[in-house]
Amino acid sequence: MVFCLDPSSRGIGRSISSAPSLFTPSVRGGIGIDADDFRLSPTAHSDRFTFHLLRPDSVLMQGYWSLRRSIFCSEQHVFESSDRDELDRIACPIAAMHHSSEPQNDDDGEAKVVGVVRIVETEPRLWYGGRLGVHSDFRRHNQIGKGLIWKAVTSANGWGCDRFLATVQIQNVRFFRRLHWTSIEELEIRGIRHHLMQADLDYYVPSRERRPSATLASPMAA
């Protein structure tokens, strides 16, 4: 189970191992792959999960918003009716997709999104990751959280990131430390203990995937 928030929540209620040897060589080498075709397999023998940097017009956006709301509103009650905020106007959303061998209903697009995260540049070359979560039916697959984190940090690192931070719930601090993150300070956000953590950018090979030029529209809509 992996959840983290980001700087949009820091002001409310306030009072980072092993190398990814099982990631595909193409990703470790930083080879650019088109966003719609991007595949990152946390196991050497499976491509059940793919990780996508979403464009504003992506058909996956509905599932992305729905899963965020399910995790942070309905399940965790960190927010009430919506977890969207003004940062979503400039954030780059990322979704993890599950590819089952079983036939699926093409109209059931939301069910295919099994993980979410967003990354945002709050100051020049300073990036935050946040709204990181995994669908409750897939939390036994630790590779989803790892893949989302890898995709998030390598993307920002390829776009000139100097620091990459996230506020991580206390139960996930050890998980992030194994992925080469360092704890900076402890925080309380909406009554939940977090650590502000920083990624080791030397560990995360910069991606060559192009940064999206457009931002999301109407983030405050339900």
pLDDT band at 27 (very low <50, low <70, confident <90, very high): very low
Site of tokens 């595949």:
39
- Read off the pLDDT of each residue in 163-175 and give the average, rounded to a whole number: 94
Angle 111-117-122 from CA coordinates, rounded to 5°: 150
Task: Tell me the HSE value of 157 on the side-chain side, using a 13 A CA sphere.
Answer: 20
Q: Which residue has the tokens 């300070």?
A: 185
Sign of the C-alpha dihedral computed for residues 37, 200, 145 and 168 taken in this order: negative
Q: What is the pLDDT of residue 76?
A: 74
**Higher-pLDDT residue of 178, 214:** 178
What contacts 24+ positions apart, CB below 8 Å, involve 44-50? 47/99, 48/98, 48/99, 48/100, 49/96, 49/97, 49/98, 49/99, 49/114, 49/115, 49/141, 49/143, 49/144, 49/147, 50/96, 50/97, 50/99
Compute the average pLDDT of residues 76-82. Answer: 78
Please give the average per-residue pLDDT across 10-21, as a whole number.
31
**Which pLDDT value is given to residue 180?**
95
Greatest mean pLDDT among 18-22, 28-32, 140-144: 140-144
Rg (CA), the chain: 16
pLDDT of residue 194: 93
* pLDDT value at 66 more than 70: yes
In this prediction, residue 78 has a pLDDT band, given cuts at 50, 70 and 90, of confident
Q: 25: number of CA atoms within 13 Å, CB side?
A: 0
pLDDT at 28: 31
Whole-model pTM above 0.85?
Answer: no
Per-residue confidence at 4, pLDDT binned at 50, 70, 90?
low
Q: Looking at per-residue confidence, does 129 or 190 come out higher?
A: 129
Identify the structural domains of the chain with CATH numbers, from first to last.
Answer: 4-101+109-199 (3.40.630.30)
User: For residue 38, is pLDDT > 70?
Assistant: no
